[in-house]
Amino acid sequence: MYFIFATFALLIYFYSTSLLFFLLLWYNFFGDFMNVIIKPKKSINGKFLIPSDKSISHRAVMLGSIANGRTEIENFLESADCLATIDCFRKMGINIFFENKKLIVEGKGLHGLKPPSSNLDVKNSGTTMRLISGILSGQNFDVEITGDESIKKRPMDRIITPLTKMGADIKGKSSKFAPLKIKPSPLNGINYELPVKSAQVKSAILFASLYANGQTMVIEPSPTRDHTEIMLEAFGADIKKIGTKIIISPIGELIAQKITVPSDFSSAAYFIAMALVLENSHIVLENIGVNPTRIGLIHALCEMGADINILNNRKVCGEMVADIEVKSSKLRGIKIGGDIIPIMIDEIPIFAVIALFANGKTIIENAEELMVKESNRIFAMVTELKKMGANIEATPDGMIISGTHTSLKGANLESYGDHRIAMSLAVAGMKADSEIIIKNADCVDVSFPDFFKKIELGN
């Protein structure tokens, strides 16, 4: 009896300790797996291949899916966000596959999408959720769009309001948040002045206008990225721009296209930053999208005295493309705000890091949109850079940064699950006097999957 009891007790002991052991192992492998260590770096030199443009990749899949025929996309960005877009359209019956490294989208026309058998899941991608809502508002089936915890906190009323004005039946949680439920309802064209300077809102309206009765006019208070307009024109839409007005009228069909996606300026921005702030650096980034509505960062940096050359300007599929040469530079602080903010919105976190190494004060104003991105980017950057000893303060619509930091100190940092925060902090970490740790750094997958491998290549 005693023997049976002892064996039983021993078994329970082994089971519970091995469970604990297993849990610890799991935490180490998977919990810590997401943490990245960045070591100080002296300089960066050479040529770097930057991943393809995220905004253009999303749009190519969306328009390809509702065009007639086979769209071929060269250099499609295979990141988590863009794969989420593919997944949504596959669920609605579109054949999307790789062939000879090109992404093929077998479009079924404006009215060829099928009701999905389950919710559409955009994961972390705000672009997917907002743009796809425009298309789905014009379909003749019910659909629900959901995403991860971050997306459920981001404002969707900015698209619900104009789409509802067009006649869409689109409802959000508390009228504002995802999941979004869309039911069939006839659409009409509208005249709409954008209250927020947002390319996603503009694009949602333009996509919905393809299904509307009559003309739609979107008025932009200041330019935001215009990839949707460029691509709609290429697919044969009846769209024109007159001053601040974009005017679009519905047509019978969109025609499949061959699209080549340039490298993403927003991803190039981290390498531009490294070259500027690491001494004795000289890099060339080839084939970068330099659409004028994306490169506010270049204008700001040139005003600060940056040594940047834009070479071999050319046009590919309606988009401006160039090579960018950057050398280490002595920078001076500046004040930015107003119309430049929307054309460098995703680059402001990395701009804040660059400003730490400029001479004097840099002031960022009118950037309150940063608070509703994948994280609150004003709070995230100020909190984490302060941990490294930076002299940076948050303001209600931006940041004030005191420059001339020759180095920062090592620290344990949080990415807030936001790719642009993780990559910006990584660049800051290269200028620290000892290593930094960035938690949950795998979030870079949404736009730049091999970022940490690539930055190892410098010296």
Q: Where does this chain bind ligand S3P (CB under 6 A)? A: 55, 127, 198-200, 203, 225, 345-346, 369
Question: Nearest CA to 286 among 245, 258, 314, 317?
Answer: 314
d(CA 107, CA 18): 52
Q: H or E segment at 86?
A: helix 80-91
What is the smallest separation between the CB atom of 443 and ligand S3P, expressed in angstroms? 14
What is the smallest separation between the CB atom of 134 and ligand S3P, expressed in angstroms? 12
What is the smallest separation between the CB atom of 59 and ligand S3P, expressed in angstroms? 7
Pick the catalytic residue from 346, 397, 442, 445: 346
What is the smallest separation between the CB atom of 194 and ligand S3P, expressed in angstroms? 10
Q: Between the CA of residue 298 and those of 163, 203, 263, 276, 351, what are the distances in Å?
A: 34, 24, 16, 12, 10
- CB closer to ligand S3P, 319 vs 323: 319
d(CA 51, CA 78): 9
Please, are residues 53 and 259 in contact by the beta-carbon 8 Å criterion?
no
Active site annotation includes 346: yes
- CB closer to ligand S3P, 71 vs 203: 203
d(CA 215, CA 238): 10
- CB closer to ligand S3P, 55 vs 79: 55
Residue with tokens 């941990």: 387
- CB closer to ligand S3P, 220 vs 346: 346
Please, are residues 80 and 445 in contact by the beta-carbon 8 Å criterion?
yes
- CB closer to ligand S3P, 159 vs 355: 159
d(CA 190, CA 217): 6
Cα angle for residues 347, 352, 355 (degrees, 5° grid): 120
What is the smallest separation between the CB atom of 229 and ligand S3P, expressed in angstroms? 11
What secondary structure does DSSP assign to 397-449, as a single string?
TEEEEE---S-B---EEE-TT-HHHHHHHHHHHHTBSS-EEEETGGGGGGT-T
Active-site residue numbers? Answer: 346
